[in-house]
Homo-oligomer: A and B are copies of this chain.
Amino acid sequence: MANILSFLIPQEKKFFPLFDKAAENLVAISTLLEKMVNTNDPEQRKLMIREIERMEHHGDTICHEIFNELNSTFITPFDREDIHALNTALDDIIDYVHGSAKRIDLYQINELTPAIKKLSELILQASIELDVAVRELRNMKKPGKMKEACVRINSIENHADDIFDTAIARLFEEEKDAIKVIKMKEVLSNLETATDMCEDAANVIETIIVKYA
């Protein structure tokens, strides 16, 4: 039905549901990451990591759908470059969430530290804020909610920076096995970069607001 009547929807409005889908997938993958790092059973964790992988592939599909739509649409709700940039930014976050989970698996990290848990929680929070902001893209003339979400994402990213720095300092003080330091540092770094990418996505949204609100 949706397909049959889709020619009635102005083409440029097709982007909003696609971005909604991307943001929804982001919240889903971040929710699962946060659950995974709080799971003690290694077998359960492995299953969750497989599911995170599946969601990452799903994210790739959505990302390509948006690019294809961009290829075939003449009028877009905002600049093509910004649609491109937002699409890429959302995809990047998912890549780092997946990258973090993959490294926990590959490096056989069993000690899921408070910093890993806290950073995963912050990624989830930032993802939820991005979901709010992305859903408001259709209300460009009332950018208040979007702006607030972007401000909160910036503050979440600052918080993640602090958590990361403190965790790294402690790691160097307490861990004497250099190989373990390298592994843990990389997992923490991937998690922290995921929050940086959330900030990048928020910056794209701020740029769109600058141009259109």
Contact = CB atoms under 8 A, between A and B. Distances in A.
A102 B165 contact: yes
B67 A106 contact: no
B168 A172 contact: no
Given A88-B203, A203-B88, A183 B172 contact: yes
A203 B179 CA distance: 36
Tell me how many chains of this kind the complex includes: 3
A50 to B, nearest CB: 15
B176 A179 contact: yes
A207 B81 contact: yes
A70 B206 CA distance: 11
A128 B172 CA distance: 35
Contacts of A81: 207
A206 to B, nearest CB: 7
Q: Which secondary structure characterizes the binding site on chain A?
A: helix
Contact of A106 (B106, B168, B203): B168
A68 B106 CA distance: 44
B178 A80 contact: no
Given A178-B182, A182-B182, A107 B172 contact: yes
Interface in A11-30: none
Interface string A173-193: 000101101110100000000
A80 B211 contact: yes
25 contacts: A67-B206, A67-B210, A70-B210, A71-B209, A71-B210, A80-B210, A80-B211, A84-B207, A84-B210, A88-B203, A102-B165, A106-B165, A106-B168, A106-B169, A106-B172, A107-B169, A107-B172, A172-B179, A172-B182, A172-B183, A178-B178, A178-B179, A178-B181, A178-B182, A181-B182
Interface of A: 67, 70-71, 80-81, 84, 88, 102, 106-107, 165, 168-169, 172, 176, 178-179, 181-183, 185, 203, 206-207, 209-211
Nearest 3 pairs of A and B residues by beta carbon: A178-B178, A106-B169, A178-B179
